[in-house]
Amino acid sequence: MLTFYMTPGSCTTGIHILLEECEALFSVELVNLMVGDQRSEAFLALNPKGSIPMLRLEGGEVLTEFEAIACWLAWSNPKAKLIPEEPLAAARAIELMAYAVGTLHMQAFARIFTPEKFAQRNEDLESIKADGRRRVTEAFAIVESRLPDERYACGEFSVADVALFYVEFWADRSDIALPPRLRAHFELMLSRPCVRQVLMEEGYRV
């Protein structure tokens, strides 16, 4: 059985959705970031990065990084069709996933949620949060210009959609407006049974 290390409401929600979409058998280890579980000796022995998401495979191997775990799940469960078969379409899905994680999450929302990581002085915290919201808006505008109308990001559901969904979810809960196509995508994702199941399991009302 797979072991999934997750924090409800974090980026791990996207991986949680993929695990349910491919009907994987997995157990869950909750990681409380606020109390520093990710810095414990046991956790660091598995993942010296001290990061989530993390997936321990049946053979004991450990996978880290959102994109790596998502692609492994897609390639290991081809019947779930979590990534396009055509090479360019697959690359486009990975491209959008990487932008959602690397730019929207790590560069924009990180400034909103953890401004202290970017500040040299306490008086800079509010300006850093404001810069984060500006970065979110700018990145959303780029994604919005490339999204199809009322469809999944790459036409059919894929790994790109779960990465985009978790940052849309954060925006929705942070009173950051979603442009029309992103709002339509967010609502489309909320209509998927696995997405609704995951949100309820993680303690959110759908």
51 plus 32 within the same structural domain: yes
Asked whether residue 198 is assigned to any structural domain, the reply reads no
Asked whether residue 203 is assigned to any structural domain, the reply reads no
Asked whether residue 155 is assigned to any structural domain, the reply reads yes
Asked whether residue 10 is assigned to any structural domain, the reply reads yes
48 plus 142 within the same structural domain: no
In angstroms, the Cα distances linking 113 to 72, 108, 116, 123, 127 are: 28, 9, 9, 16, 13
In sequence order, what are the residues at sequence separation of 6 or more whose Cβ sits closer than 8 angstroms to the Cβ of residue 30? 6, 7, 8, 37
Structural domain harbouring 173: 87-192
To the nearest whole percent, how much of the chain has pLDDT over 70?
100
Counting the structural domains of the chain, the total is 2
pLDDT digits (tens, 9 = 90+) for 76-103: 999 999 999 999 999 999 999 999 999 9
133: domain CATH number?
1.20.1050.10
Domain boundary residue, one of 61, 80, 99: 80
pLDDT digits (tens, 9 = 90+) for 23-56: 999 999 999 999 999 999 999 999 999 999 999 9
